[in-house]
Amino acid sequence: MNSQNKKTVILIVVLLVTTNIATYFLTVNGILSFDNSYVLSTHSATGATEAQKLLDLDEVIQSRYYQDVDETALMENAIKGMFSAIGDKYSAYYTKDEFTALMESSTGTYEGIGVTVTEDDSKNTVVVSAFKDSPAGNAGMVSNDVIVKVDGEDVQGKGMDYVVSKMRGTAGTKVSVTVSRNGEEKTFDLTREAIDEDTVASQVLYGDVGYIQITQFTEKTADDFKSQLSDLQSKGIKYLIIDLRDNGGGLVDSSVAVADRLLGDTEVVYTVDKSGKRQDYKSTADVKLDLPMVVLVNSGTASASEILSGAIQDTAAGTLIGTKTFGKGIVQEIHPLSDGSGYKLTIAQYFTPKGRNIHGVGLTPDITVEQNDAYKDSLYVPQDQDTQLQKALETLKGTSSQTPTDTTSDSQQ
């Protein structure tokens, strides 16, 4: 391909990500669309002028910079800069490898260290939760750890997507991750593994209290949840606890599907875009789950898990117990581009059934209970020391806190 044709292709890519965004499917990390390409054009004189400026500057760099420059990297970073200029930490452009990793995360199966992260206002990467029995979880990485180095490289301020791309890699390979915790740095030398996350785990407490923990909403979560809830019901449970603590979100469709099993025919969430267009997402089940229910939440409960929690709270289907949730009330769309790259763009706000937008605010539990101080930063809290779980049992059964030692079954899928 000659130089001029190559620049034309690059111009098309730049225009591709700046105009005519199409329809979408809703997910917590974005709205998934599997269209492969868009044919776009610009009729704006200003747009054409700015695009020409980009090509002119590219020509200057290629012809006059004292060393050779990778033109693909140059243009991909120019596109990244365009998305960064939006000032929204949830909107981003992804290279082919980065986009592949992003899409893998929605399936719950990938190769890495087993950690859910978010990004703060300074573009630092913060741990929401580390999965049990994962390299990160087993090494002792915990919620609110700030990732400051990966393999010795300072990654502060470089954004969550960049840090994730550095931590992902082939199973069996090693990666060093340094975190800042309470002002002190701690380094974990980890070996990447194939992460096939079991996002739903359940058990029966005291013979009649069903307990279901959901760690993330992936493509298989809703089916696993429905299967395990049916199994608990077959064991004669009279109460239900849903644990969404440290659930950083995932696919909104999955969250809505879980709500469909619980709430009957009702609103779950609705979105409003820039033009004021509203889109409703509803539970359509004929029958509402007829069990007293508690939902456990904390500061790591975010996005899709806040959608489920908010719907349960607004419809009075259950009681929220714990601490205030994370507060992510905006929606992204994710689109692949024809070269394997892609982008994520915030395109709407979401609202609970009663019209609450919780972005930057979070959900306030019906009953606020702090976790036992000795286990606030731990992934593994003994049930008899879990003050939030104990309050849930007390609320459901109307009795004083008990030690749930007589678990009658345990299942994980």
Catalytic one of 134, 303, 305, 341: 303
Catalytic residue among 7, 166, 220, 328: 328
Examine the residue annotation and report whether 397 is marked as an active-site residue of this protein: no
DSSP 8-state secondary structure symbol assigned to residue 145: P
Calpha distance 82→17 (Å, rounded): 9
Q: Identify whether 314 is a catalytic site residue.
A: yes
Non-local CB neighbours of 409 within 8 Å, separated by 6+ positions: 203, 204, 235
What is the residue type of 287? V
Long-range contact set of residues 367-372: C-beta below 8 Å, sequence gap at least 24? 367/319, 367/320, 367/321, 367/391, 367/395, 368/322, 368/323, 368/324, 369/321, 369/322, 369/323, 370/323, 371/298, 371/322, 371/323
Give SS3 for 412. strand
Cα–Cα nearest to 180, from 138, 122, 131? 122
Q: What are phi and psi of 330, to 5 degrees?
A: -125, 160
- From the list 224, 243, 314, 386, the catalytic residue is 314
Task: Classify 324 as helix, strand or coil.
Answer: coil
Tell me whether residue 303 is one of the annotated catalytic residues: yes
Could you list the active site residues?
303, 314, 328
